[in-house]
Chains A and B, each alone.
Chain A
Amino acid sequence: MIRQMAILTGGLPFLSGFLKGSSLPGVSLPFITDNTLDAVIDTIIPEGKTPGAISCGVSDYVKIMLFDGVSREQNNAAKTALDFLEKQAWTEVNKPFTACNMEGRIQIWKNAMTTASEIEKSGLVLLKSLTIKGYQTSSYFMKQVIPYELAPNRYNGCVTVK
């Protein structure tokens, strides 16, 4: 069973308990959701030549925000969105979202954005915005991509654009 789970989840770490309420109506394998979330975060900002969202620790941030940073309605929307992505994956390619390759996940996401209900779409938008914020405020991004100056000690109001 553990081996099956690892295969299903593509080797992503098993994390649980970030969502308020443990049951996910309509999903027979509720444990998938955490991994689906990681897969979604990885799909939005993937690993590559440079670190992606997962290796920047965005997953922890998104889970914290879904746990107590957003409203119950937003939490439910995120849950519904993840559920919808899984259903879409089964409908479109007959396998879990987490088992799809990157190209397949992106296609499922884009299809979902056009076919999702209002609440599902709001959940997808929330997951994306949290992933982007988490990535842009990660140590890697703020130190190596667009360095943030804690104390710039200057303000120049008229700098010519090069």
Chain B
Amino acid sequence: MSWLLIAITVVLRLNNLSMVNLNLKAAVKQKYDAIVVGSGISGGWAAKELTEKGLKTLLIERGREVKHIEDYPTATLLPFEMKHRGQLPHQVIEENPIVSKCYAFNETTAHFFVKDKEHPYVQEKPFSWIRAYQTGGKSLLWARQVQRWSSFDFEGPARDGYAVEWPIGYEDLAPWYSHVEKFAGISGNKDGLPHLPDGEFLPPFPLNCVEKYFSEFVAQQYKDRQVIVARCAHITDPQPIHFQQGRAKCQHRTLCERGCPFGGYFSSNASTIPWAMKTGNLTLLSNALVAEVIFDEKKNRASGVRVVDTLTGESKEYFAKIIFVNAAALNSNLILLNSKSNRFPNGLGNDNGLMGKYVAFHNYKAGINAEYEGHLQIKTDGRRPTSGYIPRFRNLHKQEMDFLRGYATSFSASRNYGTDTSDIGENLKNSLANPSLNGHWNIGAGMMGETIPKITNFVALDEKLKDAFGMPQLRISVDYDDNDHKMTLDFVDQFSEMFTKAGFKNLKIRNVNHPPGLDIHEMGGIRMGKDRRTSLLNKWNQLHECPNVFVTDGSCMTSTSTQNPSLTYMALSARAANYAVEALKKKLL
């Protein structure tokens, strides 16, 4: 037997030696077919499409690796299993004035958020930049709302004379919306609205009785307005494609931001990344900050990326035929602005000097709460991971207000239980054990307004300040404008009227005074357009001036419309990735 052991040992050692040699060679020049920068919602989609089509793809994530299920440490914890019962220590809040403003930042989720000191930036104007650096990025934390854009949205800038004309229309993106919806699993109702097109829907979550009442009331009183259930990326009726991903039906836990062990909602972690990994074509590189895209002056094309290992500080280079930049809107701006060469002294592809400019977001400045004393014989049971939704109705068919564009609105009604906590002792204990239904419903609505991209809303590299990895700090100069204020007043006016007419009482206006950013819908800076003099990307999301670089996250957005943007990023990413594969085959890249 001993000879056999020796033989095995020798073979293993030889194998190890050959592996070492291979690794040494690989260290000299890491080459792939494609590099995707960022593993969030758009990067995950780019990686999935590219690997499925056979491209050896390197997916680079600046944060740590977070594996589906096994790296969701709080997913199944009950409150009493958490030290502060879900609340963060006061010192954490004090040390993180920015991220602490985010509604989802708490003891159950804090490990998925970037803390303020970890990545400093300069607020030329107050801006709350919410970031998540790990596999999956913010796709673990998002609100999962997925409303399609319509032709009214893509045609907006051309019709109303702001930003630049989109180089694509709804018809270009519609098949890609379908493509991503079928895979991701989208719950929704086919409402037949031209300004909020239907998609490939799994069964919808229901509106409750009071929401239905308001929906019917609004339909009667306001012919231009609809109250529907919001479409969301939750699996309500799993199809074979979802089981193949290892995902199951949403269990209505509404603890989504902790990571879902059922894969009930869409995230890169649960869906696109493991799918791409199964092809055998994906390499995931974690803790790797992309500092710049390398431009090869001789070949006149991007050749790869320079990466800083965030654990060791070591600098490495990786090379590929095509590069997808999906670092999230503002970080993609940062990377490309920092990608300077003799050919591109102001940032890769930035010949017109517009990179970083025309940043926009969504206006969440106001909400209204109210009470409703009807339908008291009704309550709800269970939980629902979405809400009602009222698509944009202002300036839809033509310009009719004293502000441009309009707002969508989230809307919900809930019947809560209450307890009398005025006493102490046995009386209080009995009261807590016997809650009673409130004598009213709670009503809530929140605006989600389109903002107008402007050259004065921009991000730029700070000339002196750097972060811990030597990257220039990003200067953010983004603010509301008069259009936003007028739109906000109109929202308050219209919903006050609608609520009052519907019999809702005790209206309370929520004027939100926080700076932009907490919508977490920042967009633009590397916008798409038809003209290379006024935009950075063409209709396939390629940099006009460096076509083997694609940008398909929020930074590519020419305008913002009112819908939650992630679904559009997914569709744009899948579309661009498939174009890139075809272009490579045809040797166009």
Contacts and interface: CB of A to CB of B under 8 A. Distances in A.
Interface of A: 43-46, 48, 50, 52, 57, 61, 64-65, 68-72, 102, 106, 109-110, 128, 132-139, 141-142, 145-146, 148-161
A157 B380 contact: yes
A161 B380 CA distance: 9
Contacts of B401: none
B253 interface: yes
Given A68-B91, A128-B424, A158-B209, A46 B429 contact: yes
Contact of B383 (A106, A155, A160): A155
Given A69-B90, A137-B80, A154-B252, A159 B426 contact: no
A126 to B, nearest CB: 12
A104 B433 CA distance: 24
Contacts, number: 120
A151 B252 contact: yes
A13 B433 CA distance: 27
Nearest to B79: A137
Given A44-B428, A45-B428, A155 B80 contact: no
A69 B428 contact: no
Interface of B: 76, 78-80, 83-87, 89-91, 205-209, 211-212, 249, 251-253, 255, 376-384, 421, 424-426, 428-429, 432-433, 435, 437
Given A45-B425, A151-B252, A156-B206, 17 more contacts: A46-B426, A50-B429, A102-B425, A106-B425, A128-B421, A139-B80, A146-B433, A153-B252, A154-B381, A155-B380, A155-B381, A155-B384, A156-B381, A156-B382, A158-B208, A160-B378, A161-B377
Given A151-B253, A154-B252, A158-B208, A134 B85 contact: yes
Given A45-B429, A48-B429, A61-B85, A142 B80 contact: yes
Contacts of B429: 45-46, 48, 50, 52
A102 B435 CA distance: 24
9 contacts: A43-B425, A45-B424, A64-B84, A72-B90, A132-B421, A142-B80, A153-B252, A157-B207, A160-B378
Given A61-B85, A132-B432, A155 B425 contact: no
Contacts of A44: 424-425, 428
Contacts of B255: 150
A159 B414 CA distance: 12
Contacts of B435: 146
Contacts of B384: 155, 157
Closest A-B pairs by Cβ, 10 of them: A157-B208, A154-B382, A137-B79, A151-B251, A155-B384, A158-B209, A155-B382, A156-B381, A152-B382, A68-B89
Nearest to A133: B85
B383 A150 contact: no
A58 to B, nearest CB: 10
Nearest to A136: B432
A147 to B, nearest CB: 11
A44 B426 CA distance: 8
Nearest to B435: A146
A153 B251 contact: yes
A135 B433 CA distance: 10
A152 B380 CA distance: 13
Contacts of B379: 159, 161
A153 B90 CA distance: 34
A109 B425 CA distance: 10
Given A137-B79, A153-B252, A43 B424 contact: yes
B211 A157 contact: yes
B382 A142 contact: no
A142 B253 CA distance: 15
B428 to A, nearest CB: 6
Contacts of B249: 153
B84 A69 contact: yes
Contacts of A138: 80
Contacts of A69: 84, 87, 89-90
Contacts of B84: 64-65, 69
Given A68-B89, A157-B209, A46 B251 contact: no
Contact of B90 (A71, A128, A157): A71
A98 B83 CA distance: 27
Contacts of B90: 68-72
Nearest to A67: B89
Contacts of A160: 377-378
A112 B588 CA distance: 81
A155 B206 contact: yes
A162 B356 CA distance: 59
Contacts of B426: 46, 48
Q: Which of A48, A149, A157 has the most CB of B within 10 A?
A: A157
A137 B428 CA distance: 15
A146 B255 CA distance: 19
A160 B78 CA distance: 29
B85 A158 contact: no
Contacts of A135: 432
A159 B425 contact: no
Contacts of B80: 57, 137-139, 142
A135 to B, nearest CB: 7
Contacts of A134: 85
Contacts of B209: 157-158
Contacts of A72: 90
B535 to A, nearest CB: 44
